[in-house]
Structure 1
């Protein structure tokens, strides 16, 4: 039988804003590394990416056609062709322009009559031409440090000749402290979210005690064992091997979430329920990971009108899943978020702790699930 002193208890619920504010002082970015651009998709840039040279360096053809001097095509038409002084060079899209020309006429805009060439339409100066430095001038900041590299960034930077970039990728040990499919699925979800937001989730089997002692990682996230159950011991384990900064956060669901550290590495202990673990990750875990990667949280939220009133308890920041209904969104659950409600939901909104909810018709910000 457990002694009363062995039971994990929450003395008070710390406001979410206080927990998040502590991150700005307590969590330091991980050491950056140089990485091949081709392997850096999704990672957080540790420094601005700067164009070393202008692109293109010389004028290029933007289309297939003939390289011409635009002044020679003035007033040309199919009824009154304009004779060109010399036979124009045929150029393909992407080729450098010959000296002395300033435009590329479409193929059908030039006709050959023996050794003579004629323009059949007027071509403006620089028409069909990519001028030097239009893509990027030397010294231009192409992508700022703190941003995650998107697939399009990688493609365009490669086209501009960038081969290597400085990145940060926090290594996060993810541990499942509860048995059963529910906690395991929550752990898999959190690990997937870490990988999607510039981190590297390490999920090979390990106990929380072993994870806390593993100094090759930058942070630890454990799922389960944060409540007052007979087998719950995550918070006591962290207190024994490190430091517990907060146990009990004013979020719903997810009140038993705990935050602390072991040496300089942050530790996030999430409840074993999927909905509670998800709420803890969305409100706290993402901020922790963003601080480690020193990156912006680049959501793609959208504003929507609320189709049904939401009532929320004062003092708790509440995660509410919502789904679209015609031009509005409506809540699908509150309090305990069932698995089926999470599946039906297309995103979530956060009700601040100082709000009692939102009235029907209110404008809310909907954020996507991880």
Structure 2
């Protein structure tokens, strides 16, 4: 129970192990079909082809008169042409009469072009006199006609695999008559908080207890990655209860994230439980904060044990889990837009391990937030964090540092 951590691993080795585990366990990602009304923001698992031509028929792109272009040649204000109107065609109707020489049909935008017509003269250049239509401007073949398949022909791709379904893509897909699309299934991420001191957020506070903030902050971070969080509640530092909670969580989720219960203390059970029902792959990473991070495998699924302190938990999530959860959900990786700024004051680091330090950006400078990793307010104050190499013990005021936003949207 009181053992030290298993062999500490470097952050690069941790990434290698996690990357390989994701490839072994979660590749390829599962696919599901969803209705278009639920498709926004989802990631396409396959190319989508149109089963019909778009547009599906030759149609009018203007209100006017469908006719033979040759009947209007040389028409002008001084030399109008007179045609007989034989039909009125509204959008959605099917033309009943063929256009012959000397005839035309009144047509609305979007309506099918009648057989025999090869042009449309807009209403602005015509005048009605009973059944006669006076044409004041000549037309050319194909004028104001959207040809069948001009937009995209049948069996062409209208939305590509791995693209995110935007309103524009959903509009194109629905125009092709498709009601369901194949998308990458959202990974279900179980979130479990452990600790005798934790209680659910409420209006009632009990002396000696603290409200569980990690479940909700981690759930929000999971959503940003395109995954589906499931908060599983709080478990006491009790072997039997923790054992049961992990077994149940693994059954209903694809990945389980816990916070708390990872350090080498007398009240910490997580490592022991994972060792008994699965395998511990990592217990301890050479970083600050987050040294007690645990990564294990239970019944073919991954369990991530994050530290209990809010700052540690979210930084470790951002550094170690975010890239792989985004890849698993099919989301394109979000690159940190790092900003290089001068450090506003001297900062001490932990030599021998990589240090991630929260900072606030103000007046073009990065101010270190000098609170411990248990202070939740430090996260609310932070604009991002900086990475300090493990061989650096002191950063002097004015040193140039690169600020990464914390879990960018």
The alignment's TM-score, normalised by the length of structure 1, stands at: 0.76
Of 193, 218, 223, which aligns to 1:176?
193
More off after superposition, 24-33 vs 68-77: 68-77
Q: Secondary structure at the match of 1:153?
A: helix
2:261–2:270 CA contact under 8 A, matched in 1: yes
How far apart, in 2, do the equivalents of 1:137 and 1:352 lie? 55
1:15–1:249 CA contact under 8 A, matched in 2: yes
Q: Secondary structure at the match of 2:233?
A: coil
- Do residues 132 (structure 1) and 130 (structure 2) align? no
More off after superposition, 142-151 vs 261-270: 142-151
How far apart, in 2, do the equivalents of 1:6 and 1:339 lie? 27
- Per the alignment, residue 354 of structure 2 pairs with 316
Structure 1 residue 141, shift from structure 2 partner = 2.7
Q: CA RMSD in A?
A: 4.0
1:13–1:250 CA contact under 8 A, matched in 2: yes
1:44–1:146 CA contact under 8 A, matched in 2: yes
Within a 5 Å distance, the mapping from 1:4-23 to structure 2 comes to 5-7=1-3, 9=5, 11-16=7-12, 17-23=15-21
Structure 1 residue 242, shift from structure 2 partner = 1.4
Q: Give a deviation string over 1:42-95, Cα, whole Å, max 9, x none.
A: 444332222222222112333444435556556666x44642544443333332
- Per the alignment, residue 31 of structure 1 pairs with 30
- Do residues 239 (structure 1) and 275 (structure 2) align? yes
Of 237, 240, 247, which aligns to 1:213?
247
Within a 5 Å distance, the mapping from 1:204-283 to structure 2 comes to 204-205=232-233, 207=235, 208-214=242-248, 215-283=251-319
Name structure 2 gaps, 5 residues minimum.
86-103, 202-209, 236-241
- Per the alignment, residue 200 of structure 1 pairs with 228
Structure 1 residue 138, shift from structure 2 partner = 2.3
Structure 1 residue 172, shift from structure 2 partner = 2.1
Name structure 1 gaps, 5 residues minimum.
none
The alignment's TM-score, normalised by the length of structure 2, stands at: 0.70
How far apart, in 2, do the equivalents of 1:321 and 1:76 lie? 74
Pair 1:205–1:304, CA change in 2 (3 A): closer
How far apart, in 2, do the equivalents of 1:84 and 1:321 lie? 78
Pair 1:192–1:304, CA change in 2 (3 A): closer
How far apart, in 1, do the equivalents of 2:135 and 2:21 lie? 68
Q: Give a deviation string over 1:306-359, Cα, whole Å, max 9, x none.
A: 34359887863747667697xxx754646867655544556x5775969979x9
Pair 1:363–1:239, CA change in 2 (3 A): closer
Q: Secondary structure at the match of 1:175?
A: strand
How far apart, in 1, do the equivalents of 2:132 and 2:216 lie? 72
